[in-house]
Chain A
Amino acid sequence: MIDDTIAAIGTAPGEAGIGIVRMSGPDAVSILDKLFVPTRGNSILEYGGRRLTHGHIVDPDTKNRVDEVLVTYMKAPYTYTAEDVTEIDCHGGIVPVRKILELVLRHGARIAEPGEFTKRAFLNGRIDLAQAEAVMDLIRAKTDVGFDVALGQLEGSLSKEVKRIRDKLLEMLAHITVNIDFPDEDIEEITYRTLKEQAEEIIGDIEGLLKTAHTGKIIREGLSTVIIGKPNVGKSSLMNALLRESRAIVTDIPGTTRDVIEEYVNIQGIPLRIIDTAGIRETEDFIEKIGVERSKEFFNRADLIIFVLNAAEPLSSEDEQIMKLVEHRDAIVLINKIDLPAKLEESKIQELLPGKRIIPISVLEGKGLQELEEAIVKMVYGGEVKHQDHSFVTNARHKNALERSKKSMEDAVGAIGQGMPLDFIEVDVKNTWEYLGEITGDTVGEDLIDKIFANFCLGK
Chain B
Amino acid sequence: MREQFEAGTYEVIVVGAGHAGCEAALAAARMGCKTLLLCINLDSIAMMPCNPAIGGTGKGHLVREIDALGGEMGRNIDKAFIQSRMLNTAKGPAVHSLRAQADKLRYHVEMKKVIENEENLDLKQGEVISLITDDKGVTGVLTRTGAIYHTKAVILATGTYLGGKIFIGSVNYESGPNGLAPSKELTQNLKQLKLQMRRFKTGTPARVDKKTLDFSKMEIQPGDEKIVPFSFMSEDLEREQEPCWLTYTNQNTHDVIRQNIHRSAMYGGDIEGTGPRYCPSIEDKVVRFADKERHQLFVEPEGLDTNEMYVQGMSTSLPEDVQIRFLRTIPGLERVKILRPAYAIEYDCVDPTQLKLTLECKNIPCLFSAGQFNGSSGYEEAAAQGLIAGINAALKIQNKEPFVLDRSEAYIGVLIDDLVTKGTNEPYRMMTSRAEYRLVLRQDNADLRLTEKGYQIGLVKEDRYRVYLERKQMIEEELERLRRVFITPEQGNEFLESMQSATIKSSISLYDLLKRPELTYDNIHIIDRERKPLPDHVINQCEIQTKYEGYIDKQLKQIEQFRKMESKRLDPEIDYHKIEGLRLEARQKLSTIKPLSIGQASRISGVSPADVSVLLVYLEQQRRKKVDEIE
Residue of A1, A133, A144, A181 near B57 (CB, 8 A) is: A181
A183 to B88 CA separation, bound complex (whole angstroms): 6
Q: Does B268 contact A (CB under 8 A)?
A: no
Interface assignment of B413: CB less than 8 Å from any CB of chain A: no
| Residue in contact with B205 in the complex, picked from A184, A420, A460, CB distance below 8 Å | A460
Contact partner, A183, options B57, B277, B279, Cβ 8 Å: B57
Partner of B296, one of A113, A185, A449: A185
> Binary interface profile of B, 238-256, with partner A (CB < 8 Å = 1, else 0)?
0000000000100000000
CB distance from B220 to the nearest CB of A (A): 14
Q: Write the chain B residue with the least CB distance to A125.
A: B624
As a 0/1 sequence over residues 40 to 63 of chain B, the CB contacts with chain A under 8 angstroms (1 = contact) are 000000000011000001100000
Q: Does B431 contact A (CB under 8 A)?
A: yes
Q: How far is the CB of A422 from chain B (nearest CB, A)?
A: 5
A421 proximity list for chain B (CB < 8 A): 90-93, 95
A457-B288, A460-B313 known; A181-B433 Cβ under 8 A: yes
How near does chain A come to B274, taking the closest CB pair, in angstroms? 13
Is B433 a contact of A457 with CB atoms below 8 Å? Answer: no
CA distance A133 to B631 in the complex (A): 23
Contact indicator B277/A453 (Cβ below 8 Å): yes
A136 close to B (CB within 8 Å): yes
Contact between B610 and A424, CB atoms less than 8 A apart:
no
Is A349 at the interface (CB under 8 A from chain B)? no
Q: Which residues B298-354 have CB closer than 8 A to chain A? A: 298, 312-313, 315
Residues 262-292 of B contacting A (Cβ, < 8 Å): 277-280, 285, 288-289, 292
Asked if residues B614 and A180 are in contact (CB atoms below 8 Å), the reply is: no
Output the nearest chain A residue to B292 by Cβ-Cβ distance.
Answer: A457
CB distance from B323 to the nearest CB of A (A): 15
Whole-angstrom distance between the Cβ of A448 and the nearest chain B Cβ: 7
Stretch of B155-163, B184-192, B505-513, B615-623 lying at the A interface? B615-623
A456 to B490, CA, bound (A): 54
Minimum CB–CB distance for A421 against chain B, Å: 3
Give the distance in Å from the alpha carbon of A457 to the alpha carbon of B280 in the complex. 8
| Residues in A whose Cβ lies below 8 Å from that of B57 | 180-183
Report the interface size class on chain B.
35 or more
B561 to chain A, nearest CB (A): 7
With both chains docked as a complex, state the minimum distance between the C-beta of A124 and any C-beta of chain B, in angstroms. Answer: 9
Whether A424 touches B439, Cβ cut-off 8 Å, given contacts A139-B613, A181-B433, A460-B50, is yes
Verify B278–A184 contact, CB threshold 8 A: no
- In chain A, positions 117-132 with a C-beta closer than 8 Å to chain B are 119, 122-123, 125, 129, 132
Closest beta carbon of chain B to A113's beta carbon, Å: 8
Q: At the interface, yes or no: A365 with Cβ under 8 Å from chain B? A: no
- The answer on a CB contact under 8 Å between A136 and B581 is yes
Q: Report the nearest B residue to A415, measured CB to CB.
A: B551
**Chain B residues whose C-beta falls within 8 Å of the C-beta of A2 in the assembled complex:** 616
Chain A nearest CB: distance from B410 CB in Å? Answer: 18
CB distance from A130 to the nearest CB of B (A): 11
Docked pose: A81 CA to B248 CA in angstroms:
66
* Residue pair A449, B313 in contact (C-beta under 8 Å): no
Question: Would you list which residues of chain A between 169 and 188 have a CB under 8 Å from chain B?
Answer: 177, 179-186
Known contacts A427-B439, A457-B285, A459-B285; A419/B617 CB under 8 A: no
For window 445-459 of A, CB contacts with B under 8 Å fall at 445, 448-449, 453, 457-459
Any A CB within 8 A of the CB of B87: yes
Decide if A418 is an interface residue (CB 8 Å cutoff): yes
Q: Is the CB of A460 within 8 A of B315?
A: yes
In this complex, the member of B92, B298, B432, B438 whose beta carbon has the largest number of chain A beta carbons within 10 angstroms is: B92
Question: B22: shortest Cβ distance to chain A, in Å?
Answer: 22
Is B401 an interface position by the 8 A CB rule?
no
Chain A contributes a number of interface residues (CB within 8 A of B) equal to 45
Q: B610 to chain A: closest CB distance in Å?
A: 4
Could you tell me if B617 and A453 are in contact, using CB atoms closer than 8 angstroms?
no
Q: How far is the CB of A408 from chain B (nearest CB, A)?
A: 10
Known contacts being A119-B617, A423-B438, is A180 close to B88, with CB within 8 Å? yes
Tell me the bound Cα distance from A419 to B547 in angstroms: 13
Chain B residue nearest in CB terms to A182: B57
Residue in B292, B548, B561, B608 whose beta carbon sits within 8 Å of that of A424 in the complex: B548
Is A3 engaged at the interface, CB distance under 8 Å to the other chain?
yes
Confirm or deny: A18 has a beta carbon within 8 angstroms of a beta carbon on chain B: no
Select which of A3, A122, A139, A185 is within 8 A of B620 by beta carbon: A122
Chain A residues 414 to 443 lying within 8 A of chain B, measured CB to CB, are 418-424, 426-427
Q: How far is the CB of B491 from chain A (nearest CB, A)?
A: 26
B574 in contact (CB, < 8 A):
no
Q: Residue B58 contacts which of A179, A181, A184, A459 (CB distance < 8 angstroms)?
A: A181
Question: Nearest CB to that of A173 among chain B residues?
Answer: B433
Chain B contacts for A181, CB-based, 8 A: 57-58, 95, 431-433
- A123 neighbours in B (Cβ, 8 Å): 616-617, 620
Q: Which of B215-245 contact A (CB under 8 A)?
A: none
Q: How far apart are the CA atoms of A100 and B205 in the complex, in Å?
A: 65
Are B605 and A445 neighbours in the complex by a CB distance under 8 Å?
yes
* Cβ–Cβ contact A137 & B581, under 8 A: yes
The reply on A143 being an interface residue by CB < 8 A is yes
Question: Would you give the shortest CB distance from A82 to chain B, in whole angstroms?
Answer: 12
Partner of A418, one of B517, B565, B621: B517
- A129-B621, A453-B277 given as contacts; is B91 within 8 A of A459 (CB)? no
Closest to A176 in B: B433
Q: How far is the CA of A268 from the CA of B87 in the complex (A)?
A: 62
| CB contact under 8 A between A139 and B610, given known A427-B439, A427-B551, A457-B285 | yes
Known: A2-B616, A123-B616. 6 other contacts (CB 8 A): A137-B581, A421-B95, A422-B91, A426-B433, A427-B554, A460-B205
Chain A interface (Cβ < 8 Å from any Cβ of B): 1-3, 113, 119, 122-123, 125, 129, 132-133, 135-137, 139-140, 142-144, 177, 179-186, 418-424, 426-427, 445, 448-449, 453, 457-460
- What are 17 A-B pairs with beta-carbon distances under 8 A? A1-B613, A125-B624, A132-B617, A136-B614, A142-B610, A177-B433, A180-B57, A180-B91, A183-B57, A184-B87, A185-B296, A422-B95, A423-B94, A424-B92, A449-B433, A449-B434, A460-B312
3 A-B pairs closest in CB distance: A421-B92, A136-B581, A453-B277
